[in-house]
Amino acid sequence: MQIFSHESPLYRDSLRTRNHNNGAYWYSVEICQHIIPRVKTERPWVTIGYDGQCFDHAIVFAHCNLYPHVYSYLAPFKDLVLVCSWPQQMEAVKQWGTPLFLPMSVDTKYVAKYRRPKDREACFAGRMEKCTTELKHTYGLEFVAEVERDVFLTELARYRKAYAIDRAAIEAKVLGCEVLPYDRRFPDPSFWRVLDSRDAAAILQDELDRLDS
């Protein structure tokens, strides 16, 4: 089976100059651990973006939602399935393959191990580049960002409320935090559904079967 992931030598070498503490890296880890082994397909897999690295007919996780133009490197490759975690991403990437919506998922069993009593009020959780100027200047707001995942989950679990989107929002919900909206594109925090990566595998299998039928 062909897989380009966070474990591929090219990507691993790039981590010498880049921080791996981001959702894309950990999503790739969980895709490889819990989704790929549960999906029956002969297609190759691309679980993390790296310029020029793909295969014809591959299933590509296009989860760089803020900057869909980064996937222009996929243009030379044939018959791609592009897995999108935001429905609005599908239109942006359809020129490079067949888009498919799969809600973002996390390893809920792993995250739930970090639950603990709450002793702090509110934080921003996630990558600082996703934090708005308004939030950065909110008096007294604390930030849980760009640290090792175990530290991130340990600290996030202490808060009653979290400003978060994407994986950080799902992890916050698993940890019992109230997720607060801050991104104008997502005024309703219920958009962030708690979905285990093992259950996401079953959804992906159904969608692939539908495409191939």
pLDDT of the residue at 130: 86
Instruction: Give the domain extent around 38.
Output: 3-105+195-212
Phi–psi pair at 132, nearest 5 degrees: -75, 160
Do 67 and 159 sit in the same domain of this protein?
Answer: no
pLDDT of the residue at 17: 59
Do 129 and 177 sit in the same domain of this protein?
Answer: yes
Q: Is 213 exposed, middle or buried (0-12, 13-18, 19+ CB in 10 A)?
A: exposed
Do 202 and 184 sit in the same domain of this protein?
Answer: no
Q: For a pLDDT cut of 90, what percent of the chain falls above it? A: 69
Q: For a pLDDT cut of 70, what percent of the chain falls above it? A: 97
Do 41 and 16 sit in the same domain of this protein?
Answer: yes
- Tens of pLDDT, residue by residue over 16-58, are 656 676 778 889 999 999 999 999 999 999 999 888 899 999 9
Domains in the chain: how many in total?
2
Do 74 and 168 sit in the same domain of this protein?
Answer: no
Do 9 and 63 sit in the same domain of this protein?
Answer: yes
| Stated pTM of the model | 0.92
- Tens of pLDDT, residue by residue over 150-170, are 999 999 999 999 999 999 999
Do 113 and 131 sit in the same domain of this protein?
Answer: yes
Do 94 and 43 sit in the same domain of this protein?
Answer: yes
Contact 160, 121 (CB under 8 A): yes
Give yes or no for residue 64 having a pLDDT over 80: no
